Structure 1
Amino acid sequence: MSTRLVVVHPDASVLAEAAAARLLTRVLDVQSVRSPVHVVLTGGTVGIKTLAAVAASPLRTAVDWSGVHLWWGDERFLPAGDPDRNETQAREALIDDLVASSGLPERHVHAVPAHGAGPGEATTPEEAAAAYADELASFAPDGRDVPPFDVLLLGMGPDGHVASLFPEHPALGASGTVVGVHGSPKPPPERVSLTFAAIGAAREVWVVAAGAEKAAQTAAALSDGPVTQVPAVRAVGHDRTLWLLDAAAAAPTA
């Protein structure tokens, strides 16, 4: 049975530093018993700050990055290199440095196909979703649709969304492992997202949230509110779920 732990840090900066240290420790712990390690990254302010803190940590040198695979929980369906893509921001914060100096193979960086007509790109969110689902399945054990994610990081929006699964949106009920998203209430309108089935297959899901604007939805998710209003309530890992919060996001609401 999955367990849930809520950890509260003083502010967003400490939260990012602590999440980075926790992530590196988790990767090292997994590498002590099995390989490869599969990690799903998230975007957002705290998500990218966490990756930057990983880059700055001396503990990163202890990781065997040649045995790590990086994935994404969602992506904005934009051209390659667009500054608003989660991949672009993650590369600038951490990944390019790991590839250049720490032995992370470029082939282990599993980006969601970008919007375009070139090799490895896609012309619609559905095409990108199908290609990403195939990529996930190619690294999955027999009988599974996704790799055994050791950590799946998620941010949470002020509306309670996780990945690109928004309140009252049709994508909440999507089948399969990856869904193309249209009409996102947060720009850009077209996105690609893991489904709840793929998220729930992760060994551990970590929801990282900071800011007073997240407090109401944090409380609702931790009180098992309806998924149509608080999608984050379905962000549950197979073995464990961590809510990593700053004090503002964890504050009681009236």
Structure 2
Amino acid sequence: MNNIHVFPTIDELSAFFAQKLAELSHSVPEGKQASIALSGGSTPKGIFQYISQYAADSIHWDNIRLFWGDERCVPPEHEESNYKMTLDNLMVNIPLESSNIFRIKGENAPMEEAERYSSLVTGLLPKHKDTPAFDMVLLGLGEDGHTASIFPPDINLFDSKSLFAATQNPYTGQKRITATGRIINNARSVFLLVTGSSKAEMVARILKKQEGYEKLPASRVMPESKNLFWLLDGQAAELL
């Protein structure tokens, strides 16, 4: 089911998500760690800044391993790197060991890196129905309905047998590496984080199942666990 939560401000949205992350970090059995796949984009950036400044102490970071759901094919120090965005906005104030950080290496050849990361994740994550299962996946929503780095022309990646795949931004040609629907929808929980009035039309199309919605990648986010959370600010929800 869709758990839709609307917040007046991004700070309130961020506080809610930080609480969910804290609850997960404190619920991990002794000797285990929760695996979280992060997203890039403006909304996660704001949430990461909030957590770093106001909520870092509430989270048991030793119990968390960080992965990424997608990455631009650039070096880790590049301004467009999702890893760098997380480093600059989340990790700056948190005691996370480097041994618990598993980045997608955007500087590598895309297809080879997608295969390497798939193998890495397969070796580290617990399985559900023979597929690695993240405890939590964070996703954003593009104005074209894309999520992770699955754009409308590549919506068939939701049916791929691969775990991660090489793709590209159809508007800029920039190469990307992305999680596929197979691993996104196998997660224990998925959070779609959406803010701003520019996303309102797309949010309404998907959640109201308006004409053509099924062609939008974000409409295919349907975790088998049924734990899908839409976290929206008031502007993103203004057409609901």
Among the aligned pairs, what percent are the same residue?
25
Q: What do the CA deviations read for 1:228-250 (whole angstroms, capped 9, x no partner)?
A: 62111112233210000011111
- The aligned counterpart of 2:235 is 248
SS at structure 2 position matched to 1:75 = strand
The within-5 A match list for 1:158-173 is 158-169=143-154, 171-173=157-159
2:224 aligned partner, one-letter code: H
Q: CA deviation at 1:40?
A: 1.2
Partner Cα separation in structure 1 for residue 10 and residue 152 of structure 2: 25
SS at structure 1 position matched to 2:143 = coil
**2:181 aligned to which of 184, 193, 196:** 196
**Does residue 1:179 correspond to 2:174, yes or no?**
no
**1:110 aligned to which of 102, 107, 110:** 102
Q: CA deviation at 1:145?
A: 3.4
Contact map agreement 1:167 1:227 (CA 8 A) in 2: no
SS at structure 1 position matched to 2:235 = helix
**Does residue 1:140 correspond to 2:125, yes or no?**
yes
- The aligned counterpart of 1:119 is none
Q: CA deviation at 1:26?
A: 3.3
Partner Cα separation in structure 1 for residue 172 and residue 31 of structure 2: 39
1:134 aligned partner, one-letter code: S
Q: What do the CA deviations read for 1:46-76 (whole angstroms, capped 9, x no partner)?
A: 1011111111224x32433222111111000
- The aligned counterpart of 2:42 is 45
Query: Could you say if the C-alpha distance between residues 33 and 6 of structure 1 is closer, same or farther in structure 2, counting changes exceeding 3 Å?
Result: farther
**Does residue 1:236 correspond to 2:228, yes or no?**
no
**2:90 aligned to which of 68, 90, 94:** 94
- The aligned counterpart of 2:202 is 217
Partner Cα separation in structure 1 for residue 32 and residue 239 of structure 2: 41
**Does residue 1:18 correspond to 2:16, yes or no?**
yes
Q: CA deviation at 1:33?
A: 7.8
Unaligned runs of 5+ in 2: none
Q: CA deviation at 1:197?
A: 0.5
Unaligned runs of 5+ in 1: 116-121
SS at structure 2 position matched to 1:46 = helix
**Two-structure CA RMSD over aligned residues (Å):** 2.2
Partner Cα separation in structure 2 for residue 68 and residue 26 of structure 1: 9
Partner Cα separation in structure 1 for residue 200 and residue 234 of structure 2: 9
Q: What do the CA deviations read for 1:59-104 (whole angstroms, capped 9, x no partner)?
A: x324332221111110001012111100001011122432xxx2x2
- The aligned counterpart of 1:31 is 28
**Does residue 1:150 correspond to 2:142, yes or no?**
no
1:155 aligned partner, one-letter code: G
SS at structure 2 position matched to 1:111 = coil
Partner Cα separation in structure 1 for residue 30 and residue 191 of structure 2: 21
Q: CA deviation at 1:227?
A: 6.4
Query: Could you say if the C-alpha distance between residues 55 and 186 of structure 1 is closer, same or farther in structure 2, counting changes exceeding 3 Å?
Result: farther
Aligned residues: 236
Contact map agreement 1:172 1:228 (CA 8 A) in 2: no
SS at structure 2 position matched to 1:249 = coil
**Does residue 1:56 correspond to 2:53, yes or no?**
yes
Partner Cα separation in structure 1 for residue 58 and residue 17 of structure 2: 17
Partner Cα separation in structure 2 for residue 160 and residue 221 of structure 1: 8
Contact map agreement 2:115 2:164 (CA 8 A) in 1: yes
Contact map agreement 1:220 1:230 (CA 8 A) in 2: no
Contact map agreement 1:36 1:67 (CA 8 A) in 2: yes
